[in-house]
Amino acid sequence: MASDPDEANSRLTKTAGRAAMFPARTAARVWRDQLETAVDEVLSAPEIARVIDRALEGPLPEEIARSIVRHRVLERVVAELAATGELERLLADALASSRTRGLMDQVLASDELQHAMREVAASPEVRAAITRQTTGFVEEVAERVCESAVRLDDRLDLRKRPAHPPFAGIVTRAAALAVDALLAIALYLLVVGAAALVTSLVGGLHPHWFAGALLTVGWVVVSGAYFVLFWSSAGQTPGMRLLRLRVRTAGGTFPSVGRSLVRLLGLELSIALFFLGFLPVLFDERRRGLADFLAGTVVVYDDPSRT
């Protein structure tokens, strides 16, 4: 019962305190509203605007920027955002927004971007870079093929030879011949297509046996000219160049046109005999085939490390 008067006195004291502070709070609210109004009027005054303009025209903005850079304020802010994960969230929200996607679609569909892409793609620098990359890739593939073929040459050799014989084996020669055959066929089809176009303008060739004979003669001429021309002028066909091979005479020179014709005859005989003309390559001391025996030539690796 003793606590009831005390509690009543405490409530009375609080009520009296609030009643006493009410005028002060009311006055503070009125003064705050008036102060905010006064600050707005001061900031919107033309004099304040001129002062701000003069401050921005002076060295103050540059000083602030230099101070921000000197104290690495931006780096600290970005590091703090990255550490808290806020930066990642902001970027994810920005990329996921429909406005960003719409902007990207507009940029990608714009004529300016298409024109810029065409200009970049057609620039000499880009084309030179693509050419270098393509050439490097082809050279790398050719290098791997050559290495594999040379290892197979050594494994299939029936004679015991030095570690790096200079004479080309049967695998590299077969691969070079396959490439040359494909190239000769492509050249032959090109010639036949041109001839067919010309003959179609005059009604075609008759009878059919005559057209077949011309096709056979054309193949002999085109394939023969292909091998003879490259052997006698460069000592290697495109297929041999890809496999890094070269034809040499006993004197170390390129074969002449007559010697190349004899070698071509030996090559055709080797193929006609079910490729038996290439068997001597497996056990001959200088890895010569029938064509090499007839023409007096050898096929060597066009690689200083093996010669």
Q: How confident is the model at residue 188 (pLDDT cuts 50, 70, 90)?
A: very high
Highest mean pLDDT among 11-15, 137-141, 144-148, 203-207: 144-148
Please report how the helices 60-70 and 73-84 are oriented relative to each other, as an axis angle in degrees rounded to 10.
50
Distance CA 193, CA 208 (A): 17
Residue 278, both tokens: 């290439």
307/291 Cα distance (integer angstroms) = 22
Query: Is the distance from CB of 279 to CB of 285 less than 8 angstroms?
Result: no
Which pLDDT tens digit goes with each residue over 153-181?
Answer: 888 888 776 667 899 999 999 999 999 99
- Class of residue 185 by CB neighbours under 10 A (exposed 0-12, middle 13-18, buried 19+): middle
Helix axis angle, 46-57 relative to 60-70, nearest 10°? 60
More confident residue, 20 or 78: 78
The more confidently predicted of residues 114 and 183 is 183
Please give the pLDDT value at position 27: 54
pLDDT band at 275 (very low <50, low <70, confident <90, very high): very high
Residue 1 has pLDDT above 50, yes or no: no
**Secondary structure in 3-state letters for the chain:** CCHHHHHHHHHHHHHHHHHHHHHHHHHHHHHHHHHHHHHHHHHCCHHHHHHHHHHHHCCHHHHHHHHHHHCCHHHHHHHHHHHHCHHHHHHHHHHHCHHHHHHHHHHHHCHHHHHHHHHHHCCHHHHHHHHHHHHHHHHHHHHHHHHHHHHHHHHHCCCCCCCCCCECCHHHHHHHHHHHHHHHHHHHHHHHHHHHHHHHCCCCCCCHHHHHHHHHHHHHHHHHHHHHHHHHHHCCCHHHHHCCEEEEECCCCCCCHHHHHHHHHHHHHHHHCCCHHHHHHHCCCCCCCHHHHHHCEEEEECCCCCC
CA distance 293 to 120: 57
Band the pLDDT of 138: cuts 50, 70, 90. Answer: confident
Picking from 51-55, 214-218, 254-258, 262-266, which range would have the lowest pLDDT averaged per residue? 51-55
| Residue 181 one-letter amino acid | A
**How confident is the prediction for the chain on average, in pLDDT?**
82
Percentage of residues of the chain with pLDDT beyond 70: 80
pLDDT at 119: 78
Residue 253 C-beta-side C-alpha neighbours within 13 Å: 8
pLDDT tens, position by position, 89-137: 888 887 788 888 888 888 778 887 787 777 777 778 777 777 777 667 7
Report the distance separating Cα 302 and Cα 281, nearest Å. 18
At 124 the pLDDT is: 82
